[in-house]
Amino acid sequence: MPEGRQPVNGHASLPKSLPLGEAPCGFRGRIEAIKVGEAHGGLPAGEIENRLIELGFVEGARVEVLHEGAFGRDPIAVRVNNATIALRRREAMAILAIAERPTERS
Amino acid sequence: MSTAAATSTDAWHFALVGTPNSGKTALFNALTGSRQKVANYPGVTVERKAGLLLTPAGRSVNLVDLPGTYSLRGRSPDEEITRDIVLGRLASESAPDLLLCVADATNLRLSLRLVLELKRVGRPLMLVLNMFDLAQRRGINIDLARLSAELGVPVVTAVAVRRDGTAQLLTRMDELAASVGRQGENTWKAPSASDLRAAQREADRIIAAAVGTPARPDTLTARLDAVLLHPVAGLVILLALLFLMFQAVFSWARPLMDLIQSGFDSFGVLAHDALPDGLLQSFIQNGVISGVGSVIVFLPQILILFLFILLLEDLGYMARAAFLMDRIMGSAGLHGRAFIPLLSSFACAIPGIMATRVIDNRRDRLTTILVAPLMTCSARIPVYTLIISAFVPARHVWGFVNLQGLVMFGLYGAGIVSALGVSFVAKRFFWNEHETPPFMLELPDYKMPRVRAVAMGLYQRAMMFLKRAGTTIFSMMVLIWFLASFPRPPAGATGPAIDYSLAAIIGHALEPVLAPVGFNWQINVALIPGMAAREVAVAALGTVYAIEGGKEAAEQIGQALAGKWSLATALAVLVWYIFAPQCASTLAVIRRETGGWRFMAITFAYMLALAYVAAFMTYHVAVALGAG
């Protein structure tokens, strides 16, 4: 469980979103926003955003981190609704997700 | 004008559009069968697959299978072709009368977004829900009427892999005859991020309205992936698969190869007995039959290799392999997507280099093209097999591993390691670039490979190989026979006839350059026609030694080599072939794909330099160790 996720004062406050690039294997949640910080890998930020959307990463979609690679836990395989997409953690940083029922995650 | 109008009413032009993994190509094969033509679009190297089909009402349809894409934005040369044809912008191509958007019925999300984008083009459009049987088996309840109404597009189901699975689709084509040619307004423009978002939301809304959640979700893919994508077990299994593949290529093919070999041998003897002694007899037996035979004998090995590649592709494993290899390849400066082109290069560098089109970043693509010829292609198999079976004893080590197969595996390994090394150097020093572009790839659900599809793929590969054997390789064999037979020895000559031939003159002329790497003049001669295709070198050696040593040598070329070459020379030849740029067609494809001579020249030069240096070192180390 990443830090800063616990509800404040025991109330079910609004959970903070977590970039999918930092999510551990097994993380389940819903996409809150797609925010590409800066251009990288020779592509402008807008193009990276377009590609993420074309693979189904849009606000509201259910996501689950299914697998991760052996080296540096990278890349990751993410279930998006009912399709599985492989991508690197660096690109996944642009996908902000809110954990689903964070306290009951098995 | 009038003739053009006449032909356009004679046959309809339909186009298949769809996302990757939608089963579009399987549907294309089911609809057109063997009436297919594969060529290139003019001016670009994108493959154009077209075929003819007949509707139940007897109308003929020209069907074209467009490259798979998630949208019409055109991020790569392939996707630009799809966009231009769909928009009717490509001058050489009839604008499609009907677009068939193919979707995987079990995974509609991304396809429906594409349908919404295609609608804006204004052409008659139909959605084909492929793999509908699979969706039903999983209990995915699709309300076809609702889906069609929500999308505003006719919807039809299909099962491309079943014999009668396209009947409904064909009937609907006739019913749509009325709308054919009715072109609506084209309101398509390249979608922005917010357009894409809105369209995906709309697609998700339609799915929520018309598609039920699966009653029996696909748990098999999840269970398989738990093992096959496991950080450790997954990599071990991938390695084991590759190892099995090369063992199979070496040992399973053996009985069939022996059969083909003895067939050609007896055919040669038959020709020898039927023809009068002389030049024609020598030409037919040594030039034609033993030359072509020595290449065709490798058909079983090539088919086994392609069988593995086709099965893994159909199964959906290839994308997993790319996932597992991404970091390893990335540390060598290669893109994860380069794994599939590089794996295809094990069969042949030409389809491998053509497959690099899936890499949209130009520098990554160039790096992949640069190293693809280092992967051990099937044309090297003849050379490796011949030398290994002549010099490596056929025994088993550790009880079960075939030693010859192990050496083969080592040669493949050397190719892979050098490819990674070269790309690392290219990326760091040549491009001076440290950033790797994004790797994003859909991992499709596993699917049982279908016998018919795999058989069709194998058949196409076999025909390509035989065609090559019949044309390029055959003409090279005629050339080498000519060089080895002319001029005829002077009257009263004592040595073998070949010592007086052009081949000997050329071979000896190259000796100052190639003697330091341990090559004799016969090898030098074989290297020349080997430029056309690597496997020709084997046939050329066969011809040279046959003309030199008579019939016995031709039948037992392996034994002839074992007697005439030192182990050091044999090893040097093996190492030479890991690197040598000995394939004119590969160089031609590199020139075409990179759009100029520069990369072809760079590839040729660096590979030749590597080959020379590596063979030189191998030879001298082997001699120093007493293998000379």
pLDDT in tens, B547-564: 665 545 445 667 777 778
Chain B residues lying within 8 Å of A54, measured CB to CB:
70-71, 110, 113, 196
pLDDT for A68: 93
B229 occurs within a structural domain: no
* pLDDT bracket for residue B120 (50, 70, 90): very high
pLDDT in tens, B501-523: 887 888 888 888 888 988 888 88
Chain A residues lying within 8 Å of B322, measured CB to CB:
86
> Which two tokens mark B443?
């991992």
> How far apart are the C-alpha atoms of A37 and A43, rounded to whole Å?
12
- The CATH code of the domain that includes B110 is 3.40.50.300
Pairs of residues, one from chain A and one from chain B, whose beta carbons lie less than 8 Å apart: 126
**Chain B nearest CA to A3, separation (Å):** 25
Which structural domain, as residue segments, surrounds residue B498?
Answer: 252-297+453-565
Kindly determine whether residue A58 and residue B107, on different chains, have CB atoms separated by under 8 Å.
no
> How far apart are the C-alpha atoms of B340 and B354, rounded to whole Å?
11
CB A55 within 8 A of CB A84: no
Residue B617 CB neighbours (<10 A): 13
pLDDT for B548: 64
Range with top average pLDDT, A99-103, B397-401, B599-603: B599-603
Kindly determine whether residue A60 and residue B201, on different chains, have CB atoms separated by under 8 Å.
yes
Q: Which residue has the higher pLDDT, B560 or A105?
A: B560
pLDDT for B1: 37
Chain B residues lying within 8 Å of A61, measured CB to CB:
204
Chain B residues lying within 8 Å of A95, measured CB to CB:
none
Chain B residues lying within 8 Å of A59, measured CB to CB:
197
Tokens 């033509």 found at:
B37
Position A10 pLDDT exceeds 70: no
Chain B residues lying within 8 Å of A69, measured CB to CB:
231, 323-324, 326-327
| ipTM given for this complex | 0.84
Q: Which residue has the higher pLDDT, B330 or B69?
A: B69
Q: Which residues of A44-79 are buried (b: 16+ CB within 10 A; e: fewer)?
A: eeebbbbbbbbbbbbeebebbbbbbbeeeebbbbbb
**Chain B nearest CA to A25, separation (Å):** 12
Tokens 């001298």 found at:
B620
Report residue B238 CA to chain centroid gap.
Answer: 20
B181: DSSP letter:
T
- Which whole number is the average pLDDT over B95-108? 93
Position B610 pLDDT exceeds 80: yes
CB A88 within 8 A of CB A75: yes
Chain A residues lying within 8 Å of B222, measured CB to CB:
66
Q: Is B527 on the interface with A (CB under 8 A)?
A: no
Kindly determine whether residue B204 and residue A61, on different chains, have CB atoms separated by under 8 Å.
yes
Position B6 pLDDT exceeds 50: no
- Mutation for testing the B interface, residue in A47, A51, A54 having most B CBs under 10 Å: A54
Residues B264, B186 share a domain: no
Candidate from A55, A67, A83 with C-beta closest to B440: A55
Domain boundary among B565, B584, B610: B565
Chain A residues lying within 8 Å of B365, measured CB to CB:
none
Nearest 10 degrees: Cα torsion B202, B205, B211, B212: 150
CB B143 within 8 A of CB B157: no
**Chain B nearest CA to A7, separation (Å):** 30
Q: CA nearest B354: which of B46, B80, B110?
A: B46
B336 occurs within a structural domain: no
- Mutation for testing the B interface, residue in A36, A38, A51, A90 having most B CBs under 10 Å: A51
Angle, to 10 degrees, between the axis of helix B299-315 and the axis of helix B380-391? 120
* pLDDT bracket for residue B48 (50, 70, 90): confident
Chain B residues lying within 8 Å of A71, measured CB to CB:
327-328, 331
Least reliable range by pLDDT among B159-173, B215-229, B282-296, B608-622: B282-296
Q: What's the structural domain count of chain B?
A: 2
Report residue B241 CA to chain centroid gap.
Answer: 19
pLDDT in tens, B251-265: 787 788 888 888 888
Kindly determine whether residue B225 and residue A59, on different chains, have CB atoms separated by under 8 Å.
no
B287: DSSP letter:
I
Kindly determine whether residue B109 and residue A56, on different chains, have CB atoms separated by under 8 Å.
yes
Kindly determine whether residue B440 and residue A51, on different chains, have CB atoms separated by under 8 Å.
yes
- Mutation for testing the A interface, residue in B22, B108, B109 having most A CBs under 10 Å: B109
Kindly determine whether residue A86 and residue B442, on different chains, have CB atoms separated by under 8 Å.
yes
Residues B166, B286 share a domain: no
Residues B275, B183 share a domain: no
Question: pTM, whole model, 2 decimals?
Answer: 0.79
Residue B160's identity, in one-letter code, is: A
Tokens 């797609």 found at:
A34
CB B595 within 8 A of CB B426: no
> How far apart are the C-alpha atoms of B520 and B562, rounded to whole Å?
14
- Mutation for testing the B interface, residue in A53, A57, A91 having most B CBs under 10 Å: A53
The residue of chain A with its CA nearest to that of B106 is A82
Residues B121, B265 share a domain: no
Kindly determine whether residue A58 and residue B201, on different chains, have CB atoms separated by under 8 Å.
yes
- Which whole number is the average pLDDT over B369-382? 86
Chain B residues lying within 8 Å of A24, measured CB to CB:
none
Residues B145, B270 share a domain: no
Residues B287, B197 share a domain: no
B152 occurs within a structural domain: yes
Candidate from A51, A73, A84 with C-beta closest to B438: A51
| HEC per residue, B330-378 | HHCCCCHHHHHHHHHCCCCHHHHHHHHHHCCCHHHHHHHHHHHHHCCCC
| CA atoms lying within 13 Å on the CB side of residue B224 | 14
Candidate from B71, B221, B438 with C-beta closest to A91: B438
Q: CA nearest B99: which of B159, B153, B50, B60?
A: B153
Kindly determine whether residue B326 and residue A50, on different chains, have CB atoms separated by under 8 Å.
no
Residues B174, B77 share a domain: yes
Kindly determine whether residue B439 and residue A52, on different chains, have CB atoms separated by under 8 Å.
no
In angstroms, the Cα distances linking B391 to B306, B379, B546 are 27, 20, 20
Residue B258's identity, in one-letter code, is: D
Residues B287, B146 share a domain: no
Chain B residues lying within 8 Å of A77, measured CB to CB:
225, 229, 323, 443
Of chain B, the percentage scoring pLDDT greater than 70 comes to 89
What topology does CATH give the domain A16-99? SH3 type barrels. (2.30.30)
Backbone angles phi, psi at B348, to 5 degrees: -165, 135
In angstroms, the Cα distances linking B94 to A77, B97, B114, B119, B280 are 41, 9, 22, 19, 52
pLDDT in tens, B469-504: 677 667 777 777 787 777 777 776 666 666 778 878
**Chain B nearest CA to A102, separation (Å):** 23
Listed in sequence order, the DSSP H helices in A5-82 are 45-54
pLDDT for A5: 47
Q: CA nearest B562: which of B386, B314, B326?
A: B386
- Which whole number is the average pLDDT over B303-321? 85
Domain boundary among B550, B565, B580: B565
Of chain B, the percentage scoring pLDDT greater than 90 comes to 25
Position B154 pLDDT exceeds 50: yes
B416 occurs within a structural domain: no
* pLDDT bracket for residue B158 (50, 70, 90): very high
Residues B277, B136 share a domain: no
Kindly determine whether residue A54 and residue B197, on different chains, have CB atoms separated by under 8 Å.
no
Residue B363 CB neighbours (<10 A): 18
pLDDT in tens, B412-442: 889 989 998 998 888 877 766 656 677 888 9
**Chain B nearest CA to A55, separation (Å):** 7
Residues B197, B285 share a domain: no
B326 occurs within a structural domain: no
**Chain B nearest CA to A22, separation (Å):** 17
- Mutation for testing the A interface, residue in B109, B440, B441 having most A CBs under 10 Å: B440
Position B296 pLDDT exceeds 90: no
Kindly determine whether residue B110 and residue A50, on different chains, have CB atoms separated by under 8 Å.
no
- Contact map slice: B 102-121 vs A, CB within 8 A: 106-107, 109-110, 113
Residues B201, B93 share a domain: yes
CB B70 within 8 A of CB B110: yes
B605 occurs within a structural domain: no
List the Cα angle B107/B118/A63 in 5-degree steps: 35
What is the dihedral sign for C-alpha B402, B405, B411, B413? Answer: negative
- Contact map slice: B 56-75 vs A, CB within 8 A: 70-71, 73
> How far apart are the C-alpha atoms of B418 and B594, rounded to whole Å?
22
* pLDDT bracket for residue B200 (50, 70, 90): very high
Q: CA nearest B103: which of B176, B211, B184, B192?
A: B211
**Those residues with Cβ within 8 angstroms of residue B492's Cβ, 6 or more apart along the chain or in another chain:** none
Position B286 pLDDT exceeds 90: no
pLDDT for B44: 63
- Residue B383, judged by CB atoms within 10 A of its CB (0-12, 13-18, 19+), counts as buried
**Chain A nearest CA to B451, separation (Å):** 26
Kindly determine whether residue A66 and residue B204, on different chains, have CB atoms separated by under 8 Å.
no
Chain A residues lying within 8 Å of B363, measured CB to CB:
42
**Those residues with Cβ within 8 angstroms of residue A93's Cβ, 6 or more apart along the chain or in another chain:** A19, A20, A21, A22, A37
pLDDT for B215: 76
Kindly determine whether residue A50 and residue B196, on different chains, have CB atoms separated by under 8 Å.
yes
pLDDT for A56: 94
Residues B177, B263 share a domain: no
Kindly determine whether residue A77 and residue B323, on different chains, have CB atoms separated by under 8 Å.
yes
Of chain A, the percentage scoring pLDDT greater than 70 comes to 78
* Coil, strand or helix at A97: strand
Mean residue pLDDT across chain B: 82
Kindly determine whether residue B327 and residue A91, on different chains, have CB atoms separated by under 8 Å.
no
